[in-house]
Amino acid sequence: MAQDKKLVEEITAMDEDFAKWYTDVVRKADLADYSSVKGCMIIRPYGYAIWENIQKELDRRFKETGHENVYMPLFIPETLLQKEKDHVEGFAPEVAWVTHGGSEELAEKLCIRPTSETLFCQHYANIIGSYRDLPKLYNQWANVVRWEKTTRPFLRTTEFLWQEGHTAHATKEQAEEETLRMLNVYADFCEDFLAIPVIKGKKTEKEKFAGATETYTIESLMHDGQALQSGTSHNFGDKFAKAFNIRYLDKENRHQYVYQTSWGVTTRLIGALIMVHGDDSGLVLPPRVAPTQLVIIPIASHKGGVMEKAEEIFNQLKPLVRVKLDDSDKNPGWKFSEHEMRGVPLRLEIGPKDIEEGHAVLVRRDSREKIFIDLNELTTKVPELLDDIQDALFTKALKHREEHTSIATSLDEIKESLDKKPGFIKTMWCGKRECEEKVKEVAKASSRCMPFDESSIGDKCAICNAKAEMVIVWGRAY
């Protein structure tokens, strides 16, 4: 048992040092490791299995909405990147360049994609000619590179994995509809699949994507009260179309520019899972995203009939849930700690006494509640328990967000609230950039979004006291 205790003690307590706790969980739960390139990570099999589940579910949802997967090149010629002025200026500080091919200097340096708008635009200009070619609903799963100064596994890395949707439409109304539709896909996915509650809203001019007309976002709150931008959807209007001459002939045989959108989520969702649901023992994974939903641990496996019964249960449950039988030679206590640290939602213990009494012991990862289930009821009770765990994790995260959301009516209140109890702060805002920058300067917080369907909480800007008609959410963010 000393070994079991040590396994958990190696994770720093959240309240002691949240950043260290996060790094400990990433490493000890075998999610990722550091590489020889600063700011880049090695995603370990367990971490990649979580990403595969995210990818599989999102890909299903994208295809249900009519999107097709494509793949664009890794490299972007400098002249192509520079075609849209706002876009290139927004990404210039983060771009990595290739200047040589072998020992020869390239005639034109190549950007390693930080995002693929320009590549999609060039392609759309080549393949769109008529209104019959629209809409184009494309998505790609890829890696991108952004030269970050400060990095942390999953949350902010020099290279990361993501999906980026890029669509082209005949009208601005269709583009806006698509932008909001995909934001809603992200929001539903986060809440339903990852059990992470989100706030949907629009970004300010200061915070919107480089080159976009409008940027919409889903914002989530981590356990330490820091905000995390969890997905964005951008309406480009016809700005990129005009820069790249993407036109089509309408039904009256007139040339029109297309309207475009772009939207994406990244491997930072794994960081969100860790920081929303984790505890001092490690990961706590919602069942729908967990690589292993149930682990079976035989007790006194050397005794006759135990392994046979464990294998029988495994075979019964395998068609219903993602189940693992841990038949390693580690002692049961070690196995308990190991699978707790890896966030497996449900543990099933089966030993000689359990077999004799005709039940198994099920232990929930979220609450550590022990439940005795008749062996004949496992195929119905296990899926029910997993659904209950999924719901409980969402409810707990939503309660935490509500308890860490405050209303402020002055800049001093914004700062005081964030200093005392980090979280989301809602205020009225006049819409001026100067006020937004003042909050950044004084309270060290950024605007997260202007939330949809939010009731007014006054008529004066909390920063300058001028007339205000919009609600805004502030927070300190990763």
- CATH topology for the 44-277 domain: BirA Bifunctional Protein; domain 2 (3.30.930)
The dihedral built from the CA positions of residue 398, 29, 267 and 23, taken in this order, carries a sign that is positive
> Residue 202 is encoded by which pair of tokens?
């629009």
Are residues 288 and 390 in contact, defined by beta-carbon separation less than 8 angstroms? yes
Note the helical H segments in 231-331. 239-244, 268-277, 306-317
How far, in Å, CA of 74 to CA of 222, rounded? Answer: 33
Are residues 394 and 197 in contact, defined by beta-carbon separation less than 8 angstroms? yes
**Element holding 298 (H helix, E strand):** strand 294-298
- Stretch 236-250: mean pLDDT: 96
- CATH topology for the 405-475 domain: Translation Initiation Factor IF3 (3.30.110)
> Residue 26 is encoded by which pair of tokens?
């990433």
pLDDT at residue 456 greater than cutoff 90: no
How far, in Å, CA of 388 to CA of 367, rounded? Answer: 11
How far, in Å, CA of 472 to CA of 407, rounded? Answer: 10
Long-range contacts of 353-361 (CB under 8 A, 24+ apart): 354/299, 355/305, 355/306, 355/309, 360/313
The type of residue at 321 is V
Nearest to 265 by CA among 204, 211, 210, 188: 188
pLDDT at residue 82 in the model? 85
Residue scoring higher pLDDT (440 or 302): 440
Residue 305 has a CB neighbour count (10 Å cut-off) of: 11
- Stretch 36-53: mean pLDDT: 96
Domain ranges of the chain: 44-277, 294-396, 405-475
How far, in Å, CA of 19 to CA of 316, rounded? Answer: 41
Q: How far is CA 126 from the centre of its chain?
A: 33
How far, in Å, CA of 451 to CA of 3, rounded? Answer: 48
Q: What architecture is the 294-396 domain classified under in CATH? A: 3-Layer(aba) Sandwich (3.40)
In a 13 Å sphere around the CA of 102, the CA atoms on its Cβ side amount to 1
pLDDT per residue as tens digits for the range 108-160: 999 999 999 999 999 999 999 999 999 999 999 999 999 888 889 999 999 99
How far, in Å, CA of 192 to CA of 286, rounded? Answer: 10
What is the reported pTM?
A: 0.95
Are residues 106 and 156 in contact, defined by beta-carbon separation less than 8 angstroms? no
pLDDT at residue 84 greater than cutoff 70: no
Residue scoring higher pLDDT (414 or 210): 414
pLDDT per residue as tens digits for the range 165-197: 999 999 999 999 999 999 999 999 999 999 999
User: CA separation (Å) from 330 to 28, 188, 304, 311, 355?
Assistant: 17, 40, 18, 18, 21
pLDDT at residue 71 greater than cutoff 60: yes
Residue 333 has a CB neighbour count (10 Å cut-off) of: 15
How much of the chain, in percent, has pLDDT values that exceed 90?
91
> Residue 97 is encoded by which pair of tokens?
């360049």
Provide the pLDDT confidence category of residue 2 given band limits of 50, 70 and 90: very low
How far, in Å, CA of 312 to CA of 315, rounded? Answer: 5
pLDDT per residue as tens digits for the range 309-345: 999 999 999 999 999 999 999 999 999 999 999 999 9
SS3 468: coil
Nearest to 361 by CA among 298, 312, 318, 292: 298
pLDDT at residue 6 in the model? 52
How far, in Å, CA of 17 to CA of 23, rounded? Answer: 10
Q: Which pairing describes strands 405-407 and 424-429: parallel, antiparallel, or unpaired?
A: parallel
Q: Which pairing describes strands 75-77 and 104-112: parallel, antiparallel, or unpaired?
A: antiparallel
pLDDT per residue as tens digits for the range 270-308: 999 999 999 999 999 999 999 999 999 999 887 889 999
CB within 8 Å of 52: residues ≥ 6 apart = none
Residue 253 has a CB neighbour count (10 Å cut-off) of: 8
Q: Phi and psi dihedrals of 255, rounded to 5?
A: -75, 130
How far, in Å, CA of 109 to CA of 77, rounded? Answer: 6
pLDDT at residue 5 greater than cutoff 90: no
The type of residue at 397 is A
**Element holding 390 (H helix, E strand):** helix 378-403
pLDDT at residue 312 in the model? 97
Provide the pLDDT confidence category of residue 3 given band limits of 50, 70 and 90: very low
pLDDT at residue 450 greater than cutoff 80: yes
- Stretch 15-31: mean pLDDT: 96
Nearest to 256 by CA among 245, 268, 272: 245
- Stretch 210-220: mean pLDDT: 95
pLDDT at residue 16 greater than cutoff 70: yes
